[in-house]
Structure 1
């Protein structure tokens, strides 16, 4: 730059401004510091992002596990309800069979009693007939 241009605050376009080697080192140092700072910030952001992703993943896994457990609980409840229905039906059938057996047994006892009564009646009549016959034989003698 020329002196006139410095005084008049004008630039001399013929001369190009070249950084000196010391300025280049400063620029390089500044750039590396800025890069390391931004890399540090990036790594912090990256670490936070990783933490958030892991947290979200854990939350999703937890929700998935809860849904699975809920489905399992519902299936178990359904199965228990089904088993309860089966047991109730079985008990009804067993009770019905027991009632039926009881009724059949009761009818059999009644038939046996009626048969005994009839047999006793027949025996009594037969004995009476024999007595009459014996008494008539005695009378006829």
Structure 2
């Protein structure tokens, strides 16, 4: 009997000041398929969408995410406008995003399933950076 086809899951994030919320979304995304591919936002993309540079460089963030056991491949996300291209290039069967983006990526349902996962309550990179800055 032939084995069922594998499912590739793709998610995106900045993954700056890596925390348990990041870990949980990666673990939950990995559980939805057989292969997890993660797009890590480029420094320039983060600056344009958040108005600040990440604490850790894109090379460091790529290395951190690539080292996680649930991650099979990483790539640099250089543009929000290329999401469809990234999904197709990486053969995504499922796109996973946080529920703070709910509905924003439904346009990709023609190429893959789109799943919005609940965020980990009471934790965010911005809140962590603000807490660290206030303590110094």
TM (normalized to structure 1)?
0.15
Structure in which a larger fraction of residues adopt strand: 2
Higher relative contact order structure (alpha carbons within 8 Å, sequence separation ≥ 6): 2
Query: Greater Rg, structure 1 or structure 2?
Result: 1
Structure in which a larger fraction of residues adopt helix: 1
